[in-house]
Amino acid sequence: MASRKSFFHSYRRGSQALGVGAGLALVGLVIAAPGGCTLNLEGIPTGTGGSASTSSITTTDATTTSACASTGGGCSQNSECDDGKPCTDDVCTGGACVSTANDATKPPDGLACTDDVCSGGVESHPLKAAGALCAPGSALVCDGVSTMCPTCTVNSDCGAPTADGCVVPTCTGSTCTMQNATGNANTQAPHDCKVSVCNNGMPTPMVDTTDAPVDDQNPCTLNVCDASGDPYPAAPQGTTCGTGECNNVGQCKGAAGTTCAVAADCASTICLVGLCRAPSGISCSDDLYCATERCNSTICASCNVNGDCKSNVCVSGVCKGAGGAPCNGDTDCAGGKCQYGLCQLDLTAACSSNIDCLSGYCNGGACKACSSNADCSPGSTCGVNVTTSYGVCRLPKDAYCSPAVPVLFLCNSGVCNGFPSTCK
């Protein structure tokens, strides 16, 4: 019941004031509608360049899907779908306007001795029966023939205002008329981000950002009204909620560094190597917090050159995993080999440090089996692995580790936990 309905109501009242009558016909009048469409007097959208097929203001259809949508006009919000009929509710659904009958509406015509009726989405104003009160509380009655009340002397002769206060019976020139009030309606719903105002004799909701909603106990929404009059807008992404953080649609999800199975588990919607990752620009304390695998000081950032990465391999802004970094598959690793959840190379592969090798021993630029504790990094010990049948150094303190790694590849201390998961 927006601007176009206001137009129709105003025109109808104007026609009666001019004495033209309720049967007024305006053949061919076409009104511009949003989305490159036109609107005829029946409110039926036609394609651009269409024309009105009838002259009647009222219609006989209770539900109409906009022809505009099928011709490419479409809609993006409810306000574009007003069909000019006070007896329908008009919404935008899936890019198409849908109008549904609302027979609870009573659009006023400003006449004391007619009823205001919606039936099947069609507006009508039949005469009141002889003897019917001109309005509730009126001392005057209708004669069943005229649309006007008998002669009045004061406003109270004409009855009481409607319950919502939007129509006020008034005695003007000895005649009772139904005057549309302005200002706030008497019917208000608290904490709904709306204020009900009188518009063309009917209460109409308008945005009121001061009418804040009650606390919904959701740490990921704000208990305020947004500029569109919708309650509970999403809190800023990254807001702490329990052990997680808020995403951008008001839901509490996994924070960067927590385990995940799919992207939907994470506030950032980024799940890599079984961990929620943060996008560039978010604070971090370790490369594994970042989707780019690069924590530049304390901020996640993409890489530009190989030298930006610990692995010295930058591909499309993302650092490939260095030796010993967690991985899901070979493509995650700079060395092209992911074993037991970590980037680790086989024997004889070129290496630059012990952590590059599955064996934990890099000597002479190649991965080799260890033969004693002296071959291993400080804090690590050498033992024969029953799977590989060669000496392997257990991971030293602070090395990345994975709980999924078999026992003989676990930390030297036997303890792997925290985020990122490291040997203790």
Strand intervals (E) in 13-147: 30-33, 37-40, 45-46, 64-65, 88-93, 96-101, 117-119, 122-124
Q: So what's the pLDDT on residue 374?
A: 92
The Cα–Cα gap between 183 and 205 comes to 12
Q: So what's the pLDDT on residue 266?
A: 92
Q: Determine phi and psi for 67, rounding to 5 degrees.
A: -70, -20
Output the six-digit token pair for 5: 């309905």
Taking the chain, what is the end-to-end CA distance rounded to the nearest angstrom? Answer: 67
Contact partners, residue 209, CB within 8 Å, separation at least 6: 193, 224, 225, 226, 227, 229
Contact partners, residue 112, CB within 8 Å, separation at least 6: 134, 135, 138, 142, 147, 148, 149, 158, 159, 169, 176, 177, 178
The Cα–Cα gap between 419 and 274 comes to 12
Reduced to 3 states (helix: H, G, I; strand: E, B; else coil), residue 109 is: coil
Q: Which amino acid is at 45?
A: P
**Comparison of pLDDT for 45 and 220, the residue scoring more:** 220
How is residue 268 annotated by DSSP? T
**Can you tell me the mean pLDDT for 56-73?**
39
The Cα–Cα gap between 210 and 168 comes to 28
Output the six-digit token pair for 69: 């949508």
The Cα–Cα gap between 96 and 83 comes to 13
Output the six-digit token pair for 189: 């719903």
**Comparison of pLDDT for 255 and 402, the residue scoring more:** 255
Closest to 344 (Cα-Cα) out of 362, 364, 370: 362
In the predicted structure, residue 38 carries a pLDDT above the cut 50:
no
Contact 406, 416 (CB under 8 A): no
Q: So what's the pLDDT on residue 257?
A: 79
Contact 152, 140 (CB under 8 A): yes
Q: So what's the pLDDT on residue 78?
A: 81
Q: So what's the pLDDT on residue 311?
A: 84
**Can you tell me the mean pLDDT for 111-125?**
90
Q: With 0-12 CB in 10 A as exposed, 13-18 as middle and 19+ as buried, what is 364? A: exposed
The Cα–Cα gap between 298 and 58 comes to 66
Closest to 360 (Cα-Cα) out of 376, 343, 372: 376
Q: So what's the pLDDT on residue 95?
A: 85
Buried b (16+ CB within 10 A) or exposed e, 234-270: bbebbbebeebbbbeebebbbbbbbebeeeebbbbbb
Q: pLDDT > 90: what percent of the chain?
A: 28
**Comparison of pLDDT for 279 and 1, the residue scoring more:** 279
Q: So what's the pLDDT on residue 404?
A: 61
Residue whose pair of structure tokens reads 């702490």 in the numeric block: 240
Output the six-digit token pair for 246: 């808020």
Q: Which residues pair with 118 in a beta bridge?
A: 123
Condensed to tens digits (0 to 9), the pLDDT of residues 164-218 reads 999 998 888 888 888 999 999 998 889 999 999 999 888 999 999 999 999 999 9
Condensed to tens digits (0 to 9), the pLDDT of residues 230-245 reads 999 999 988 999 888 8
Confidence class for position 6, pLDDT limits 50, 70, 90: very low
Reduced to 3 states (helix: H, G, I; strand: E, B; else coil), residue 419 is: coil
Confidence class for position 403, pLDDT limits 50, 70, 90: low
Condensed to tens digits (0 to 9), the pLDDT of residues 324-375 reads 888 878 888 888 888 877 888 999 999 988 989 988 899 999 999 999 999 9
